């Protein structure tokens, strides 16, 4: 039983990485007041850029940096449609997703002569990092050691994002912009620039997430390889109320269930049930979030009503 759990958790670590990276970027964007529906599309762009650059340079690290930079550029253009052109963030995000899927549906057969999967010559994946001493520990070693660098970076990003949001002037300005844009603008905060920069950062995180999928999990590009992980990342930061710690927990839960679904499929469970398991978890978690928010709203209203009823007339 412990060995099965260790196996699931070991495979959950890389399965969680892409979701966690995209969710960290998405929560920064959400704190600035933009719900980034385009995370899925930017992840796909990052995955493609990582594969192409890795094949061209032979360096997965140059490829990862390139994926992050291109993701940031795509994020900037996405933000401009909202902050400068007045587009609806939901419609703009859905449009970006459709545009990217259509682009790769056209680009792969025309430019590379393949229909769905691209494996260019010279492609190099991310290396695995073995942690000294830890990798020799039974059961624990496979869970914590032997993963690609982006997996460790994703977990390091959780305290770093928290530190940025709650302990820096830029983070406070970003949260003020998302909480009340008019008040932030009156306080001298360049709110449109803050929102643009938050979307650039979200795009860079999503680009890294895509690079981890194409160079860390597998070493190839497929036009369907994101598999809804951008939307699961969206659910993760809603589950965590756009807070780094809770968002990381949500991403981990989704990663564990995704890993468990592969284990169940190999055990003979019907593939339709197994494949739907991670998404059922998403629906269940969002339902719990909605119930929690309704309970908090009701409790707040009751406290206000109690305070009003206990106030003597004339005061």
Mean pLDDT of all residues in 238-255: 87
Domain map of the chain by residue range? 2-310
How far is the C-alpha of 132 from the C-alpha of 142, rounded, in Å? 12
Q: How far are the Cα atoms of 4, 5, 136, 174 from residue 139, in angstroms, in the given order? A: 9, 9, 9, 41
21 touches 205 (CB < 8 A):
yes
pLDDT band at 271; cut points 50, 70, 90 = low
DSSP string, 96-121: HHHHHHHHHHHHIIIIIS-SSEE--T
Query: Does residue 18 contact residue 24 with C-beta atoms inside 8 Å?
Result: no
Is 26 buried (19+), middle (13-18) or exposed (0-12) by CB count in 10 A?
A: buried
Contact present, 67 and 208 (Cβ < 8 Å):
yes
Question: What per-residue confidence (pLDDT) applies to 270?
Answer: 63
Task: Give the residue with greater pLDDT, 281 vs 117.
Answer: 117
Percent of the chain with pLDDT over 90: 60
70, 68, 72: which is closest to 29 by C-alpha?
72
**In 3D, which of 48, 21, 171, 64 has the Cα closest to residue 114?**
48
**Contact (Cβ atoms closer than 8 angstroms) between residue 101 and residue 223:** yes
pLDDT, position 106? 92
The average confidence (pLDDT) of the chain is 87
Higher pLDDT, 259 or 218: 218
Helices then strands, each counted (H, E), the chain: 12, 2
pLDDT, greater one: 15 or 31:
31
Digit-coded pLDDT (tens) for 206-244: 999 999 999 998 999 999 999 889 998 998 888 888 899
Determine the CATH number of domain 2-310: 1.10.3470
Least confident of 44-53, 208-217, 252-261: 252-261
The CA distance from 202 to 207, in Å, is 9
Q: What's the CA gap between 17 and 209, in Å, rounded?
A: 7
Cβ atoms of residues 119 and 111 within 8 Å: no
| Enclosing H/E stretch for 216 | none
Q: How confident is the model at residue 272 (pLDDT cuts 50, 70, 90)?
A: low
Q: What is the pLDDT of residues 114-152, one digit of tens each?
A: 988 999 999 999 999 888 878 777 777 777 888 899 999
Cα 34 to Cα 283, 289, 299, distances in angstroms: 22, 19, 27
pLDDT score of 267 more than 80: no
Q: Tell me: pLDDT of 260 over 60.
A: yes
Predicted pLDDT of residue 209: 96
pLDDT band at 311 (very low <50, low <70, confident <90, very high): low
Q: How far apart are CA 68 and CA 48, in angstroms?
A: 11
pLDDT for 11 beyond 80: no
Give the whole-angstrom CA distance, residue 269 versus residue 98.
33
pLDDT band, residue 277 (cuts 50/70/90): low
pLDDT bracket for residue 265 (50, 70, 90): low
- At 296 the pLDDT is 76
* Residue 185: exposure state from Cβ atoms within 10 A (0-12, 13-18, ≥19): middle
Rounded (5°) CA angle 204-206-207: 60
More confident of the two residues 300 and 20? 20
Instruction: Say whether pLDDT at 315 is over 60.
Output: no
């Amino acid at each position: 039983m412990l060995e099965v759990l260790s196996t699931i958790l070991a495979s959950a670590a890389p399965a969680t990485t892409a979701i966690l990276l995209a969710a960290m970027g998405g929560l920064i964007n959400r704190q600035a007041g933009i719900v980034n529906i385009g995370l899925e599309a930017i992840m796909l762009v990052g995955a493609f850029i990582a594969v192409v650059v890795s094949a061209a340079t032979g360096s997965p690290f140059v490829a990862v940096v390139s994926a992050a930079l291109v993701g940031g550029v795509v994020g900037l253009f996405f933000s401009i449609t909202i902050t400068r052109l007045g587009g609806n963030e939901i419609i703009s995000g859905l449009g970006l997703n459709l545009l990217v899927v259509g682009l790769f549906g056209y680009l792969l057969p025309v430019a590379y002569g393949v229909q769905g999967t691209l494996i260019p010559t010279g492609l190099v994946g991310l290396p695995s990092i073995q942690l000294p001493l830890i990798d020799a520990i039974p059961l624990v070693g496979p869970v914590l050691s032997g993963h690609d660098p982006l997996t460790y970076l994703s977990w390091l990003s959780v305290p770093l994002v928290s530190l940025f949001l709650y302990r820096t002037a830029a983070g406070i300005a970003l949260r003020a912009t998302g909480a009340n844009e008019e008040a932030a603008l009156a306080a001298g905060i360049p709110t449109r620039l803050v929102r643009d920069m938050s979307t650039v950062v979200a795009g860079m995180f999503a680009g890294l997430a895509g690079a981890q999928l194409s160079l860390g999990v597998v070493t190839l590009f497929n036009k369907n390889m994101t598999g809804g992980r951008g939307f699961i990342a969206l659910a993760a930061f809603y589950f965590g109320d756009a807070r780094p710690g809770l968002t990381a927990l949500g991403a981990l839960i989704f990663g564990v269930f995704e890993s468990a679904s592969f284990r169940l499929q190999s055990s003979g469970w019907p593939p339709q049930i197994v494949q739907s398991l991670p998404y059922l978890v998403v629906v269940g978690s969002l339902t719990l979030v909605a119930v929690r928010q309704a309970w908090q709203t009701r409790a707040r209203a009751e406290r206000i009503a109690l305070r009003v009823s206990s106030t003597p007339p004339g005061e």
